[in-house]
């Protein structure tokens, strides 16, 4: 995979040795970058993270260290070190370039941030300059010839090794996401996004992600269990409730986005008022929760509240869907947008003045009590396995169960007769009806199912927030989830996939939550990001096979083997 | 709702359209057309472009509700909804291919099975033994159909990536998946080369032998006259003539309105060489345009 794939045909031997030398230099650059993080970069600890200590990387230096280590790893893989070739099935050069850029960008971001925040480059210690220079060395990778090739068939590993790899991959994934959620200041989060962005893209380019997703398809049940364990392990890594709350909100957002993905991604119905169903569920749960502010003097146990919330959402879904689903395309989008706003305004007016007193109008329903399951109070801390879990950890685990339910519904419905009918309707409604599909009925099922799942998430949300107000359910606003952000999470992540909306929702929630200083420019940046995405990756971050082929006409016949990421996990494969 | 393919041993015609008229505002696209298709028959529908052939098809399949007239399928009046028509037993293909381009070949055929399967959302979510059985049966039937048209090796390809001829065949397989008693083919050989046309011809004969009546629209006269037991010619929305291929071919009005006069005394019956056919088709096309202006 290395020396024999050089470009020039004239003097293969010279070119080969030159390539080898360049790769060696890149590896050295990686080592130097790693070493530079052990130096002190600045004099004072005014810059967050304390970068003043020799021999102990801290804060952003850790990110540079990781980026440097990845450069080193892939440079060594390029040098054909035994065992490392497995990491780069489709070639190392592109990955190496991206990783070098990542290391360079992270380091320079840090150095520039120090200089800007503390007022001038005098604040840099020599170590900072050294880091700035050494991190540029791996950019040598841009002189390397491109060695992209078809994925090599790896030597068959024993299955225990493959399973171990899956477990390691999910462990790493958990660690990376946890690190992102736990970042305490904006600089660190920005650096994290830079490093993670470049590194993940590089791993895709190297074909490692495809190889891993191949493994997860092979050991599907183990992979699912590993993912679940990794997700459930998150609260155990937390010492305070601060970041667990963020994680709970991410889960709520992601679950609702996944529900919307049934409506938009599978059935192709553009629903711009989806957040209203979350609101219906949340309000229903709030009103039957036994809070003193509720107009009804009832206190349902949680399971009953969940069923009520989901059922009321279902009814709303059918009532709204029945007249609107006769419309197609743009008209449907406009009408759903209208219904979303109608919900918010109606709830705001049921305050005893403009209408009957049901929801306290704009004041909302406060003091929603914590859930209690057989004496297990969700609001209190509990000690499990010797680790103290805060109140939000309980909600996190509950929400995780809700999300698993939605994932299950999505994948099972998607790969069935009804799921095929949804996709057929999305592809060509006339042809689908001519094939005997009752278009209206099938679309109504998708719409109602989406509404029910959102209502389900809403019932948990009401208890997590302990207050529901109409302003939480707007079309567009700075705080997700709202209809625009939900749709963006689906489109950004990848329509019709499972992991797409999860990743989209995570990003869309974390970025505004972590980069508070962006507040005023958030929607602007967000719009720009969407435009860029539509230009360069219209199928979303995670593409299903269909979308990938739809948007990138390569003229080649597609290969049914899962060489693309996300093969078969989220896609509606008939064979699954 | 079970297998309906084999029970065609009745005296009632499979399809009985009587007095079908379709008006769009002031324009009458189809006027008072009667057509019968008997069991085991292949009937051709010819006519210049704009004559109302596809509109007539749409009236039969419920995409349009005829302004006047009735369409009976095996004695029962068809409901005016496309999916109910398909359920009753009429399947169709489209003039311009309308596959589900971003679904796989197999999935396309499975969608065709929709009316003959029942599992709804609940069984899909619960995945009981019934669901697995039904799904396995659908798969088996779909693969059988793919083997019938010779696409079994491409089951996992996206429909959009198939060559043109295969896409046409896949449309037929998708239509057959609903176990129809009558298959409507709208220009199944449009854009095909002579060899592909011959293969399609064989395919349609094989479908007829399965006990499925076929009604086919086509401009390729050699294809039509080889294939059909009866041919009807539609001109300006009205049925000009109906009869055996020989009768229709010899009919002066059909020649004037559609077939055109053959070059150098070469009569249509003798249009045996491959070259004669495109010439006749071209001739027909030019006739069509002049005729079309009359509407």
CA distance to partner chain A, nearest, from residue B98 (Å): 6
| Residue B280 confidence (pLDDT) above 60 | no
Whether residue A436 and residue B120 make contact (CB cut-off 8 A), yes or no, is no
Whether residue A434 and residue B82 make contact (CB cut-off 8 A), yes or no, is yes
Could you tell me if A160 and A282 lie in one domain? Answer: no
> Is the CB of B143 inside 8 Å of chain A's CB atoms?
no
How many residues are given for chain A? 576
CATH of the domain at A354: 1.10.3470
Nearest to B55 by CA among B33, B85, B86: B33
Chain B hits for A448, CB-CB cut-off 8 Å, are none
Give the pLDDT band of residue B289 (cuts 50, 70, 90): very low
Residue A560 is predicted with a pLDDT of: 41
CA distance to partner chain B, nearest, from residue A560 (Å): 6
Overall average pLDDT of the B225-253 stretch: 89
Task: Considering only the C-alpha atoms of chain B, give the largest distance between any 2 of them, rounded to a whole number of Å.
Answer: 70
More confident residue, A84 or B31: B31
Residue B284 is predicted with a pLDDT of: 43
Q: Pick from A230, A262, A286: which residue ends a domain?
A: A230
Whether residue A558 and residue B117 make contact (CB cut-off 8 A), yes or no, is no
Return d(Cα A518, Cα A521) in angstroms, integer: 5
Return d(Cα B200, Cα B93) in angstroms, integer: 13
Could you tell me if B11 and B74 lie in one domain? Answer: yes
Q: Predicted ipTM?
A: 0.82
Whether residue A434 and residue B86 make contact (CB cut-off 8 A), yes or no, is yes
Could you tell me if B74 and B213 lie in one domain? Answer: yes
Q: Pick from B178, B199, B220: which residue ends a domain?
A: B178
Q: What one-character-per-residue DSSP string does A503-540 give?
A: HHHHHHHHHHHH-GGGGGGHHHHHHHHHHHHHHH-TT-
Whether residue A546 and residue B102 make contact (CB cut-off 8 A), yes or no, is yes
Q: Pick from A196, A212, A230: which residue ends a domain?
A: A230
Which residue out of A446, A497, A574 would a mutagenesis test of the B interface target, given it has the greatest number of B Cβ atoms within 10 Å?
A574
Q: What one-character-per-residue DSSP string does A54-121 give?
A: TTS--THHHHHHHHHHHHHHHHHHHTT-TTTGGG-TT-SHHHHHHHHHHHHHHHHHHHHHHHHHHTSG
Could you tell me if B170 and B185 lie in one domain? Answer: no
Could you tell me if B78 and B189 lie in one domain? Answer: yes
Whether residue A424 and residue B103 make contact (CB cut-off 8 A), yes or no, is yes
Could you tell me if B1 and B57 lie in one domain? Answer: yes
Could you tell me if A363 and A397 lie in one domain? Answer: yes
Range of the domain at A91: 3-230
Nearest beta carbon to residue A438 from set B83, B113, B160: B83
> Is the CB of B82 inside 8 Å of chain A's CB atoms?
yes
* DSSP-based helix, strand, coil % in chain A, nearest 5: 65, 5, 30
Three-state SS string over chain B comes to: CCCCCCCCCCCCCCEEEEEEEEEECCEEEEEEEEEEECCCCEEEEECCCCCCHHHHHHHHCCCCCCCEEEEEECCEECCCCHHHHHHHCEEECCCCCCCCCCCEHHHHHHHHHHHHCCCCHHHHHHCCHHHHHHHHHHHHHHHHHHHHHCCHHHCCCEHHHCCHHHHHHHHHHHHHCCCCCEEEEECCCCCCCHHHHHHHHHHHHHHHHCCCEEEEECCCHHHHHHHCCEEEEEECCEEEEEECHHHHHHCHHHHHHHHCCCHHHCCHHHCCCCCHHHHHHHHHHHHHHHHHCCC
Chain B hits for A419, CB-CB cut-off 8 Å, are 124
Half-sphere exposure of B216 (CA within 13 A, CB side): 31
Could you tell me if A510 and A453 lie in one domain? Answer: yes
Give the pLDDT band of residue A11 (cuts 50, 70, 90): low
Do the bridges between strand A387-389 and strand B42-46 make them parallel or antiparallel, or are there none, so unpaired? unpaired
Position A383 in a domain:
yes
Chain B hits for A496, CB-CB cut-off 8 Å, are none
Range of the domain at B156: 100-178
Burial (0-12, 13-18, 19+ Cβ within 10 Å), A170: buried
Could you tell me if B237 and B208 lie in one domain? Answer: yes
Position A565 in a domain:
no
Segment A301-330, tens digit of pLDDT = 888 889 999 999 999 999 988 988 888 778
Overall domain count for chain B: 2
Determine how many CB atoms are found less than 10 A away from the CB of residue A178.
17
Residue B170 is predicted with a pLDDT of: 94
Which residue out of B1, B73, B93, B104 would a mutagenesis test of the A interface target, given it has the greatest number of A Cβ atoms within 10 Å?
B104
Segment A86-144, tens digit of pLDDT = 787 777 888 888 888 888 888 888 888 888 887 777 777 787 888 888 888 888 778 77
Return d(Cα B46, Cα B215) in angstroms, integer: 11
Position B268 in a domain:
yes
Segment B68-99, tens digit of pLDDT = 998 999 988 988 889 999 999 999 999 899 99
Overall average pLDDT of the A472-481 stretch: 82
Overall domain count for chain A: 2
Burial (0-12, 13-18, 19+ Cβ within 10 Å), A549: buried
Position A548 in a domain:
no
Alpha helices for A120-185 (secondary structure H) = 126-134, 159-182
Segment A163-220, tens digit of pLDDT = 888 888 888 888 888 888 888 888 888 889 888 888 888 888 888 888 888 888 788 8
Whether residue B154 contacts residue B108, with contact meaning beta carbons closer than 8 Å, is answered with: no
Position B221 in a domain:
yes
Residue A274 is predicted with a pLDDT of: 92
Position B282 in a domain:
yes
Could you tell me if B65 and B203 lie in one domain? Answer: yes
Whether residue A420 and residue B111 make contact (CB cut-off 8 A), yes or no, is yes
Q: What one-character-per-residue DSSP string does A346-361 give?
A: HHHH-BSSSS-BSS-G
Whether residue A257 contacts residue A505, with contact meaning beta carbons closer than 8 Å, is answered with: yes
Whether residue B102 and residue A550 make contact (CB cut-off 8 A), yes or no, is yes
Average pLDDT, chain A: 82
């Amino acid at each position: 995979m290395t020396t024999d794939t050089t470009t020039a045909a004239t003097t293969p031997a010279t070119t080969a040795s030159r390539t080898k030398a360049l790769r060696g230099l890149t590896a050295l650059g990686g080592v130097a970058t790693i070493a530079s993080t052990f130096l002190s970069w600045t004099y004072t600890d005014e810059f967050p993270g304390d970068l003043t200590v020799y021999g102990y990387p801290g804060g952003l230096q850790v990110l540079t260290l990781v980026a440097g280590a990845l450069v080193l790893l892939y440079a060594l893989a390029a040098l054909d070190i035994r065992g490392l070739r497995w990491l780069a099935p489709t070639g190392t050069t592109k990955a190496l370039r991206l990783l070098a850029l990542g290391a360079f960008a992270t380091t320079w971001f840090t150095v520039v941030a120090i200089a800007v925040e503390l007022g001038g480059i005098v604040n840099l210690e020599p170590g900072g300059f050294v880091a700035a220079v050494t991190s540029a060395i791996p950019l040598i990778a841009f002189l390397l010839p491109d060695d992209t090739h078809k994925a090599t068939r790896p030597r068959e590993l024993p299955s225990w090794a493959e399973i171990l790899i899956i477990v390691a991959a999910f462990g790493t994934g958990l660690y990376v996401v946890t690190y992102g959620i736990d970042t305490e200041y904006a600089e660190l989060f920005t650096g994290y996004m830079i490093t993670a962005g470049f590194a993940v893209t590089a791993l895709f380019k190297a074909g490692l992600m495809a190889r891993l997703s191949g493994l997860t398809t092979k050991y599907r049940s183990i992979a699912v269990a590993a993912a679940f364990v990794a997700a459930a392990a998150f609260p155990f890594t937390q010492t305070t409730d601060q970041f667990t709350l963020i994680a709970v909100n991410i889960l709520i957002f992601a679950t609702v986005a996944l529900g919307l993905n049934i409506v938009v991604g599978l059935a192709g119905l553009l629903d711009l008022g989806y957040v209203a169903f979350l609101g219906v569920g949340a309000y229903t749960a709030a009103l039957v929760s036994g809070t003193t502010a509720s107009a009804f003097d009832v206190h349902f146990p949680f399971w009953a509240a969940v069923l009520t919330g989901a059922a009321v959402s279902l009814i709303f879904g059918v009532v709204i869907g029945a007249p609107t689903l006769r419309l197609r395309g743009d008209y449907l989008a406009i009408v759903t947008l209208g219904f979303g706003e109608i919900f918010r305004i109606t709830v705001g007016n049921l305050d005893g003045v403009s209408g009957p007193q049901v929801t306290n109008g704009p004041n909302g329903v406060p003091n929603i009590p914590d859930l209690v399951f057989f004496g297990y109070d969700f609001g209190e801390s509990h000690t499990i396995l010797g680790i103290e879990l805060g109140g939000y950890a309980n909600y996190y685990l509950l929400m995780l169960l809700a999300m698993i339910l939605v994932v299950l519904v999505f994948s099972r419905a998607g790969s069935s007769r009804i799921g095929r009918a949804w996709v057929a309707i999305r592809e060509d409604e006339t042809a689908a009806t001519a094939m005997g599909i009752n278009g209206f009925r099938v679309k109504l099922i998708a719409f109602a199912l989406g509404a029910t799942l959102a209502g389900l998430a809403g019932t948990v949300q009401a208890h997590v927030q302990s207050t529901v107000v109409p302003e939480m359910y707007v079309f567009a606003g700075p705080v997700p989830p709202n209809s625009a952000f939900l749709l963006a999470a689906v489109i950004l992540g990848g329509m019709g996939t499972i992991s797409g909306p999860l990743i989209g929702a995570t990003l869309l929630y974390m970025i505004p939550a972590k980069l508070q200083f962006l507040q005023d420019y958030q929607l602007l940046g967000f719009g720009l990001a969407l435009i860029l995405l539509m230009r360069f990756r219209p199928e979303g971050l995670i593409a299903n096979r269909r979308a990938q082929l739809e948007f990138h006409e390569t003229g080649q016949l597609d290969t049914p083997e899962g060489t693309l990421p996300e093969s078969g996990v989220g896609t509606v494969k008939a064979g699954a | 709702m079970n297998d309906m393919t084999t029970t065609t041993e009745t005296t009632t015609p499979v399809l009985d359209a009587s007095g079908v008229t379709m008006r769009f505002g002031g324009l009458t696209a189809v006027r008072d057309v009667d057509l019968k298709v008997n069991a085991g028959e292949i009937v051709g529908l010819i006519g210049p472009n704009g004559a109302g052939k596809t509109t007539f098809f749409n009236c039969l399949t419920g995409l349009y509700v005829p302004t006047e007239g009735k369409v009976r399928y095996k004695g029962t009046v068809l409901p005016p909804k496309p999916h109910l028509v398909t359920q009753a037993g009429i399947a169709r293909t489209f003039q311009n291919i309308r596959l589900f381009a971003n679904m796989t070949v197999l999935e396309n055929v499975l969608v065709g099975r929709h009316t003959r399967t029942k599992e709804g959302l609940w069984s899909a979510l619960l995945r009981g033994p019934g669901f697995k059985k039904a799904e396995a049966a659908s798969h088996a039937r779909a693969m059988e159909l793919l083997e019938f048209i010779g696409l079994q090796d491409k089951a996992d390809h996206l429909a959009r990536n198939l060559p043109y001829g295969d896409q046409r065949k896949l449309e037929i397989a998708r239509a057959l998946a609903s176990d129809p008693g009558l298959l409507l083919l709208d220009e199944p050989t449009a854009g095909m080369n002579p060899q592909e046309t011959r293969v399609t011809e064989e395919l349609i004969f094989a479908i007829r032998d399965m006990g499925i009546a076929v009604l086919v629209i086509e401009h390729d006269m050699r294809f039509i006259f080889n294939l059909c037991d009866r041919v009807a010619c539609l001109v300006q929305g009205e049925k000009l003539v109906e009869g055996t291929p020989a009768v229709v071919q010899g009919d002066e009005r059909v020649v004037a309105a559609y077939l055109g006069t053959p070059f150098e005394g070469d009569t249509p019956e003798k249009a045996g060489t491959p070259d004669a056919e495109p010439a006749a088709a071209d001739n027909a096309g030019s006739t069509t345009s002049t005729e079309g202006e009359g509407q």
